[in-house]
Structure 1
Amino acid sequence: MENAKTITIADVMTKSVISADASMTINETAKMMEDAKVGAVIIMENNTPIGIVTDRDFAVKAAAHAYEISSPIKRIMSSPLLSINSDESVRNAADLMHERGVRKLPVLSDDKVVGMITATDIVNLLAVCVEEDMRNMYFHSVAKIFTNYSPYN
């Protein structure tokens, strides 16, 4: 394996990304996510990515505010879309996730969605790293991502 400091997002991202049109409803989008077995979809308007909806948005935003399932998906999406370029390092992705408190980042290239990197992708990367790389990544990146989610803080 190459040095963990130089592994790019393109090396570990999920390339298959589901998108939904901004005109879809909360219910239609939830069904799409269930059928595709994904935890996030990119919301598109005029072939441009404008936001993201995660499974957590359904629980926190839709349920907490008792939005009708026929409401537009735009009502619960996170926008503006926070993203990262595919040629950036995994360390940069982990830092951005930590700073913004997110666990999923759309990956863009020339303003087109080309993938998604998640906290899980970064953890999976640890499983195939040599011990030195794993230690380096853990202390620099992964610990930052999960700090906010630890029950011990």
Structure 2
Amino acid sequence: MTNGKTTTIADVMTKSVISVDASITVNEAAKMMEDAKVGAVIVMENNSPVGIVTDRDFSVKVVAHAYQITEPVKQIMSSPLFSINSDEPIRIAADLMHDRGIRKLPVIDNGKVVGIVTATDIVNLLAVSVEEDMRDMYFHSVAKIYTNYSPYN
């Protein structure tokens, strides 16, 4: 079992992250995401993370706005890139996700992408928590992340 008050981003993040150069095409990025079975890639320029492309970017920007699949992925990335350090408490990630309306958050230490934490990671943390921590995390973190999706708001 985990302790919700001391759990850090490093404890729950996914360490394998795919990064792509900003110049690759939208189609190439989509194929990479499909092959790797991931919902996001980090976009890099000059070895620095500058944006993120999520599966939602494809539906909203490519399909709804009719971007060509031959466009550079930089055209559809979400930027500026919001990120977090691996030693931060999970609550900080939940707050940032809520405040920015995002569900995937790159983890960057010393300018290097070391992982990604998602809303699903936070929900999965609840499954291995003691009841008191679970209640605490739910009311502080999960409720904030999913507040916009609740039929009760």
Instruction: Classify the TM-score, shorter chain.
Output: over 0.9
- In 2, the alpha carbon distance for the partners of 1:22 and 1:151 equals 38
- Matched residue type, 2:41: V
**Alpha-carbon separation, structure 1, partners of 2:149 and 2:114:** 28
Aligned ranges for residues 1-153 of structure 1 at < 5 Å?
A: 1-153=1-153
Kept in 1: contact 2:2–2:130 (CA 8 A): no
Counterparts of 1:123 and 1:2, CA distance in 2: 13
Q: How many angstroms apart in 1 are the aligned matches of 2:72 and 2:147?
A: 33
Summarize the Cα distance change of 1:31–1:20 in structure 2 as closer, same or farther, 3 Å threshold.
same
SS class of match (2:137): helix
Deviations 1:97-134 (A, max 9, x none): 00000000000100100000000000000000000000
- Post-superposition shift, 1:141? 0.7
Task: Name the TM-score, length of structure 1 as normaliser.
Answer: 0.98
Q: CA deviation at 1:69?
A: 0.5
CA-atom RMSD in angstroms = 0.8
What's the offset of the Cα at 1:2? 4.2
The aligned amino acid for 2:57 is: D
Q: Percent identity?
A: 78
TM-score by length of 2: 0.98
Aligned length: 153
d(CA) in 2 for partners of 1:8, 1:149: 25
Query: Residue 84 of structure 1: SS of its match in structure 2?
Result: coil
Q: Is the 8 A contact 2:97 2:104 kept in 1?
A: yes
> Which whole-Å CA distance do the structure 2 matches of 1:59 and 1:2 have between them?
36
Whole-Å separation in 2 of the counterparts to 1:2 and 1:29? 35
Aligned residue for 1:137, secondary structure, equals: helix
Instruction: Provide structure 1 residue ranges, at least 5 long, that are not aligned to the other structure.
Output: none
Residues 3 and 130 in structure 2, CA contact (< 8 A), matched pair in contact too:
no
Letter in 2 for 1:86: S
Runs of 4+ deviating beyond 4 Å: none
